Amino acid sequence: MSQTETPAKPTTRTTATSARPPLWKVILLNDDVTPREFVVKVLRRVFRMTEDEATAVMLTAHRRGACVVAVFTREVAETKAEQANEAGRRAGYPLALTTEREE
């Protein structure tokens, strides 16, 4: 390239115009009724967590009122939240998980 030529513009974008789908948080809400062990069991089954991971998430929700369990694409987040809610319903507990779009 000669001294007078302008270099080609870089083609790599640094800002996200993103082909990635938005992510959705699954949020576990505390309640006064659902037994701790039941919450842990459901988290382990639905979110494939270890005992320690599930216990940590359960305790955070218990102490702070809510805890982000994980993030997924919208459909996966909604399916998992519903599976956990359904498990609570079937057992007669008010276990509640919601989903929220990530910023």
Q: Which of 62, 68, 76, 83 binds ligand TYC (CB under 6 A)?
A: 62
Q: 18 in the Ramachandran plot: left (φ > 0), alpha (ψ -120 to 50) or beta?
A: left
Q: Please choose, out of 2-10, 46-54, 55-63, 69-77, the segment that lies near ligand TYC by the rule CB under 6 A.
A: 55-63
DSSP state of 4: T
Residue 50: how many CB atoms within 10 A of its CB?
10
User: Using the rule CB under 6 A, is 69 a contact of ligand TYC?
Assistant: no
Should residue 65 be labelled a site residue for ligand TYC when binding is judged by CB under 6 A?
A: no
Residues 6+ apart with CB under 8 A from 62: 30, 36
| 28 lines the binding site for ligand TYC (CB under 6 A) | yes
**Of 17-25, 28-36, 48-56, 77-85, which part binds ligand TYC (CB under 6 A)?**
28-36
Residues 97 and 69: beta-carbon distance below 8 Å = yes
- Which residues sit at the interface with ligand TYC, rule CB under 6 A? 28-32, 34-36, 39, 58, 61-62
